[in-house]
Amino acid sequence: MRFLSLLAISMMAQSVLAGQGRVDGLPAFSEAVLPIGTELYAISIGPGGPGEEFGSDAQNGGLYKVGTDGVHTRIELSDGQGLRNPTGLVESDGQIVLVDGDQVISVSPEGLVHWRQSLDEDGAFFYDIEVLDDETLLVSDFGRGAFLSVASKTGDMQAYLDDVRVDGLARFEISDDGIYAVSWGADDAWNSALYLVSFTAGGAVAERLIDGFGNLESVEIINDTVVVGGYRGHERSQASKLMRLDADGGVHPLSVGSDTKGVSDIYFDGTSVWLNYFYDAAYQRLSVKTLMTSP
């Protein structure tokens, strides 16, 4: 695992824009934001909130376009089916591909649905989605603790890394080292963890790197540094909602995010870092230097 020092990160960040303060006004219970060019999009599980997140069939969820002032506009999907519990989205070849319960959906920024595919497996509940290569997307299945590959042009799904299982598999990030993934734990325990899925001659293995987190949900690789976020911190830093990790298993709280009710998603576009605050219905865009400031 490769990590850069804070000094090196700060030097690289000198040319990065300062970003902006927290912007309120996202839809209630927004899970993630996604910048595409000059536009910003968000997904929300809707007014049912966390109590409905893993069981509702009501079309409470939504895809939104967000203005710079936080004012949001709902994007109606052309197939009329709506969304229930969307939790992850990614840009792929100019389209927005999102996961919603046991479905993966490809839609244009204007709402034209290109395809919508479902997985007919007991317990399937998709959490996050990332681009694996030009033709393939990768999805985390929270319900079954597994990964799936998805054809980006058709939505056809198949098992990926069949021998890898991570209980409570939530968000993940693909890197040169493998796949960094976080697990969701019990609401009253410190049993969330960070995993590294690495590839060997015999297949793939999921190694638990650091545990002791509370309700860990998001992970991002920012200039070779692993940053994680969630609704509670770590057993050694319980007030922190956002933390950077070092190669020796150290957990270091970051000042940004610590005064919120939790960071549900972290997105790094190569220049700026975007944080989504689930319970606050808000997002924030930051420079790397600002993000990496310790309290």
pLDDT given at position 8: 37
pLDDT given at position 12: 34
214-259 pLDDT per residue, tens: 999 999 999 999 999 999 999 999 999 999 999 888 999 999 988 7
What is the side-by-side order of every strand in the sheet holding 251-253? 216-222, 225-230, 242-245, 251-253
8-state DSSP, 255? S
Largest CA distance in the chain: 51
Distance CA(148)–CA(13), nearest Å, equals 35
∠ at Cα 243 (51, 46), nearest 5°?
25
Q: CA quadruple 138, 13, 266, 103: dihedral positive or negative?
A: negative
Antiparallel, parallel or unpaired: β 113-118 and 126-133: unpaired
- Kindly tell me if the per-residue pLDDT of 199 is higher than 90: no
Model pTM? 0.90
Q: Tell me which amino acid residue 244 is.
A: R
- Kindly tell me if the per-residue pLDDT of 153 is higher than 80: yes
Could you tell me what percent of the chain has a pLDDT over 70? Answer: 90
Distance CA(9)–CA(7), nearest Å, equals 5
pLDDT given at position 78: 98
Averaged pLDDT of the chain: 89
pLDDT given at position 206: 94
- For the chain, list the domains and their CATH numbers: 1-19+173-295 (2.130.10.10), 23-160 (2.130.10.10)
- Kindly tell me if the per-residue pLDDT of 18 is higher than 70: no
25-84 pLDDT per residue, tens: 899 899 999 999 999 999 999 876 666 666 667 788 999 999 888 889 999 999 999 999
pLDDT given at position 5: 38
- Kindly tell me if the per-residue pLDDT of 22 is higher than 70: yes
- Kindly tell me if the per-residue pLDDT of 9 is higher than 70: no
Distance CA(86)–CA(80), nearest Å, equals 16
CA distance between the termini of the chain = 25
Q: Give the closest residue to 228 by CA, choosing from 271, 178, 262.
A: 262
- Kindly tell me if the per-residue pLDDT of 133 is higher than 70: yes
pLDDT given at position 49: 61
75-122 pLDDT per residue, tens: 999 999 999 999 999 999 999 999 999 999 999 999 999 999 999 999
Distance CA(97)–CA(107), nearest Å, equals 6
